[in-house]
Protein backbone atom coordinates (compact mmCIF):
# COMPACT_ATOMS: atom_id res chain seq x y z
CA UNK A 1 0.00 0.00 0.00
CA UNK A 2 1.12 3.51 -0.77
CA UNK A 3 2.34 5.68 2.09
CA UNK A 4 2.98 9.40 1.75
CA UNK A 5 5.92 10.62 3.80
CA UNK A 6 7.66 13.89 4.57
CA UNK A 7 11.21 14.09 3.29
CA UNK A 8 13.78 16.14 5.18
CA UNK A 9 17.24 17.22 4.12
CA UNK A 10 18.57 18.83 7.33
CA UNK A 11 21.72 20.17 5.68
CA UNK A 12 19.52 22.46 3.59
CA UNK A 13 17.36 23.80 6.40
CA UNK A 14 18.28 27.34 7.48
CA UNK A 15 15.62 27.57 10.20
CA UNK A 16 13.60 30.31 8.47
CA UNK A 17 10.33 28.84 9.83
CA UNK A 18 8.48 29.55 6.59
CA UNK A 19 7.00 26.02 6.81
CA UNK A 20 5.66 26.74 10.28
CA UNK A 21 4.07 30.01 9.18
CA UNK A 22 2.63 28.53 5.98
CA UNK A 23 1.02 25.74 8.02
CA UNK A 24 -0.44 28.24 10.47
CA UNK A 25 -1.74 30.36 7.63
CA UNK A 26 -3.27 27.40 5.81
CA UNK A 27 -5.07 25.91 8.79
CA UNK A 28 -5.69 29.06 10.84
CA UNK A 29 -4.58 27.36 14.03
CA UNK A 30 -4.96 29.05 17.41
CA UNK A 31 -2.32 31.49 18.62
CA UNK A 32 -0.20 29.06 20.63
CA UNK A 33 -0.76 25.98 18.50
CA UNK A 34 1.62 25.03 15.73
CA UNK A 35 1.02 21.79 13.88
CA UNK A 36 4.48 22.14 12.36
CA UNK A 37 7.39 23.27 14.45
CA UNK A 38 11.05 23.87 13.64
CA UNK A 39 13.25 22.37 16.33
CA UNK A 40 16.96 22.70 16.91
CA UNK A 41 19.05 19.70 17.79
CA UNK A 42 22.61 18.46 17.86
CA UNK A 43 23.81 15.38 16.02
CA UNK A 44 27.43 14.35 15.51
CA UNK A 45 28.65 17.67 16.98
CA UNK A 46 26.64 19.73 14.52
CA UNK A 47 23.54 21.75 15.13
CA UNK A 48 20.56 21.24 12.87
CA UNK A 49 17.13 22.71 12.33
CA UNK A 50 14.51 20.02 11.93
CA UNK A 51 11.00 20.84 10.75
CA UNK A 52 8.58 18.42 12.37
CA UNK A 53 4.84 17.83 12.23
CA UNK A 54 2.76 14.66 12.42
CA UNK A 55 4.72 11.85 10.82
CA UNK A 56 1.65 9.90 9.70
CA UNK A 57 3.26 6.78 11.14
CA UNK A 58 2.76 3.28 9.82
CA UNK A 59 1.96 2.18 13.37
CA UNK A 60 0.38 5.34 14.78
CA UNK A 61 0.15 5.32 18.56
CA UNK A 62 -2.45 8.13 18.56
CA UNK A 63 -4.65 5.87 16.50
CA UNK A 64 -4.17 2.93 18.87
CA UNK A 65 -4.76 4.75 22.15
CA UNK A 66 -7.72 6.94 21.19
CA UNK A 67 -10.78 5.64 23.10
CA UNK A 68 -13.19 7.53 20.83
CA UNK A 69 -11.90 6.09 17.54
CA UNK A 70 -11.23 9.64 16.39
CA UNK A 71 -8.28 8.70 14.19
CA UNK A 72 -8.27 7.01 10.82
CA UNK A 73 -5.75 6.41 8.06
CA UNK A 74 -6.47 7.14 4.42
CA UNK A 75 -5.42 4.76 1.68
CA UNK A 76 -2.51 7.05 0.86
CA UNK A 77 -1.28 6.62 4.46
CA UNK A 78 -2.31 10.05 5.77
CA UNK A 79 -3.50 9.82 9.40
CA UNK A 80 -6.51 12.07 9.99
CA UNK A 81 -8.29 13.19 13.12
CA UNK A 82 -12.06 13.54 13.40
CA UNK A 83 -12.76 16.49 15.74
CA UNK A 84 -16.46 15.60 16.10
CA UNK A 85 -15.52 12.30 17.78
CA UNK A 86 -12.77 13.80 19.96
CA UNK A 87 -13.61 14.22 23.66
CA UNK A 88 -10.35 15.99 24.49
CA UNK A 89 -8.97 13.24 26.77
CA UNK A 90 -5.43 13.92 25.45
CA UNK A 91 -4.48 10.23 25.36
CA UNK A 92 -3.06 10.80 21.86
CA UNK A 93 -1.13 13.88 23.01
CA UNK A 94 0.61 11.80 25.67
CA UNK A 95 1.11 8.71 23.50
CA UNK A 96 2.74 10.31 20.47
CA UNK A 97 6.55 10.20 20.84
CA UNK A 98 6.79 13.25 18.56
CA UNK A 99 4.09 15.29 20.34
CA UNK A 100 2.29 15.77 17.02
CA UNK A 101 -1.30 16.02 18.32
CA UNK A 102 -1.80 19.30 20.19
CA UNK A 103 -4.52 20.02 22.68
CA UNK A 104 -6.54 23.14 21.95
CA UNK A 105 -7.99 24.48 25.25
CA UNK A 106 -10.48 26.66 23.35
CA UNK A 107 -12.11 23.83 21.41
CA UNK A 108 -11.23 21.26 24.13
CA UNK A 109 -10.12 18.87 21.44
CA UNK A 110 -6.86 17.56 20.04
CA UNK A 111 -5.73 18.59 16.57
CA UNK A 112 -2.81 17.81 14.31
CA UNK A 113 -1.27 18.06 10.84
CA UNK A 114 -3.52 16.59 8.15
CA UNK A 115 -0.85 16.57 5.42
CA UNK A 116 -2.95 19.33 3.77
CA UNK A 117 -5.07 16.51 2.32
CA UNK A 118 -7.41 18.97 0.65
CA UNK A 119 -4.47 20.47 -1.23
CA UNK A 120 -3.20 16.97 -2.03
CA UNK A 121 -6.57 16.08 -3.53
CA UNK A 122 -6.20 19.09 -5.82
CA UNK A 123 -2.75 17.94 -6.87
CA UNK A 124 -0.93 20.57 -4.78
CA UNK A 125 1.88 19.91 -2.30
CA UNK A 126 1.25 20.60 1.41
CA UNK A 127 1.52 24.29 2.30
CA UNK A 128 4.71 23.76 4.33
CA UNK A 129 6.45 22.02 1.43
CA UNK A 130 5.37 24.69 -1.04
CA UNK A 131 6.72 27.38 1.30
CA UNK A 132 10.20 25.90 1.87
CA UNK A 133 12.66 28.15 -0.02
CA UNK A 134 15.66 25.80 0.16
CA UNK A 135 14.08 22.46 -0.72
CA UNK A 136 14.83 21.09 2.74
CA UNK A 137 11.27 19.83 3.14
CA UNK A 138 9.53 17.67 0.57
CA UNK A 139 7.18 14.77 0.26
CA UNK A 140 7.81 11.30 -1.07
CA UNK A 141 5.46 8.38 -1.76
CA UNK A 142 6.66 5.02 -0.47
CA UNK A 143 5.13 2.31 -2.61
CA UNK A 144 5.99 -0.42 -0.12
CA UNK A 145 7.32 -0.89 3.39
CA UNK A 146 10.98 0.03 3.08
CA UNK A 147 11.86 -1.45 6.47
CA UNK A 148 14.68 0.38 8.23
CA UNK A 149 16.05 2.03 5.06
CA UNK A 150 14.33 5.44 5.44
CA UNK A 151 15.70 5.74 8.97
CA UNK A 152 19.36 5.41 7.99
CA UNK A 153 20.01 9.13 8.49
CA UNK A 154 17.75 9.45 11.55
CA UNK A 155 19.13 12.11 13.94
CA UNK A 156 20.00 10.78 17.38
CA UNK A 157 18.06 13.52 19.19
CA UNK A 158 14.70 12.40 17.80
CA UNK A 159 12.69 9.55 19.37
CA UNK A 160 13.49 6.04 18.16
CA UNK A 161 11.46 5.29 15.00
CA UNK A 162 11.30 1.53 15.69
CA UNK A 163 7.94 1.49 17.46
CA UNK A 164 5.68 3.78 15.43
CA UNK A 165 7.59 3.64 12.13
CA UNK A 166 7.11 7.31 11.23
CA UNK A 167 6.65 8.24 7.59
CA UNK A 168 9.56 10.63 7.66
CA UNK A 169 12.60 10.17 5.50
CA UNK A 170 15.94 11.86 6.11
CA UNK A 171 18.53 12.34 3.41
CA UNK A 172 21.89 13.43 4.71
CA UNK A 173 23.93 15.31 2.15
CA UNK A 174 27.68 15.19 2.49
CA UNK A 175 28.19 18.14 0.19
CA UNK A 176 24.84 19.84 0.12
CA UNK A 177 24.01 23.46 -0.31
CA UNK A 178 25.05 24.84 3.07
CA UNK A 179 23.22 28.11 3.51
CA UNK A 180 24.09 28.50 7.15
CA UNK A 181 26.05 26.22 9.36
CA UNK A 182 26.20 26.67 13.08
CA UNK A 183 28.92 25.33 15.33
Partner 1 sequence: MDSLSGLMDLIIKGSNLDGLVRYLEAQYGAVFIIANPWGRVLAASDQASFPGGSYLPFKLPVGGGEGVFQGETYLAWPLQSGAINHGYLVTLGAGKLPPRVVENLDQVGKLFLLALAREQAVLATERRYRADFIYDLLYNNFESKEALVARGQLWGWDLNRPHALMVVELLAGPGEQFRELAGAMVLEEQPQAILLPRERQLVIIIPSLEEKGATARRMQGIFNGLQQKLSRYLPGMRLAGGVGLFYPSTTDLYLSFQEAKIALEIGKLRREPGLVFFAGLGVERLLYQLTPQQLEDYYQQTLGRLEDFDRENGTSYLEVLEKFFQYNGDFQAIARHFYLHPNTLRYRLQKIGEILEVDVHSLETQLDLLAALKAGLLARHRSRG
Residues forming contacts to partner 1 in the complex (CB under 8 A) are 1, 59-60, 63-64, 69, 71-75, 144-145, 148, 151, 159-160, 162-163
**Cα 147 to Cα 75: distance, rounded to the nearest angstrom:** 19
Nearer to partner 1, 81 or 109 (CB): 81
Nearer to partner 1, 64 or 118 (CB): 64
Radius of gyration, CA atoms only, the chain: 16
**Cα 138 to Cα 7: distance, rounded to the nearest angstrom:** 5
Nearer to partner 1, 118 or 177 (CB): 118
Nearest distance in Å: CB 15, partner 1: 25
Q: What is the DSSP annotation of 41-100?
A: EEETTEEEEEEE-----SS-HHHHH-TT--EEE-TTS-EEE-TTT-----HHHHH-TT--
Nearer to partner 1, 32 or 75 (CB): 75
Nearest distance in Å: CB 160, partner 1: 6
Nearest distance in Å: CB 144, partner 1: 5
Nearest distance in Å: CB 124, partner 1: 23
* Cβ–Cβ under 8 Å, residues 75 and 2: yes
Amino acid sequence: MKQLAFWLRPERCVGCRNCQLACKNEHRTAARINWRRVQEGEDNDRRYFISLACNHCRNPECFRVCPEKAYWKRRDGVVLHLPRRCQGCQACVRACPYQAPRYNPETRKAEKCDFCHKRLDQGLPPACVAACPTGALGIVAWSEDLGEAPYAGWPGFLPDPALTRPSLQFTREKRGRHFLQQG
